[in-house]
Amino acid sequence: DIQMTQSPSSLSASVGDRIIITCRASQAIGTWLAWYQLKPGKAPKALIFAASRLQTGVPGRFSGSGFGTDFTLTIAGLQPEDFATYFCQQYGDYPLTFGPGTKVDVK
């Protein structure tokens, strides 16, 4: 199985901040990498697929990059609605696997 790790596991930030979350795969997955946002009581929201492509309707302050084993999610100009937990997921090989998550809360 491809193991996914994320760092940091949590971070505190303020509205307007630029934050970067890192995701690493235990083996190369090309750009078969997605990012999701989870909030309690809400349907998870898909943010990015193919490492860097924004899902329809996702604001441009979200961006993704990376290839192979190392990936990043950047939020440029954090908004109040962005405080949430973020997960990466690889879909380059079965079984599909997720990172452990990064919780973004208010500083």
Element (DSSP H or E) covering residue 1: none
Question: Which residue in 19, 25, 29, 36 binds another protein (CB under 8 A)?
Answer: 36
Q: What is the DSSP letter of 27?
A: S
* Per-residue burial over 60-86, b = 16 or more CB atoms within 10 Å of its CB, e = otherwise: eebbbebeebebbbebeebeeebbbbb
Q: Does 34 bind another protein (CB under 8 A)?
A: yes
Give the Cα separation of 38 and 86 in Å (integer): 6
Q: Does 68 bind another protein (CB under 8 A)?
A: no
| Stretch near another protein under the rule CB under 8 A, chosen from 14-22, 48-56, 61-69, 76-84 | 48-56
Q: Does 18 bind another protein (CB under 8 A)?
A: no
List of residues contacting another protein (CB under 8 A) = 1, 34, 36, 38, 41-46, 49-50, 53, 55, 87, 89, 91, 94-101
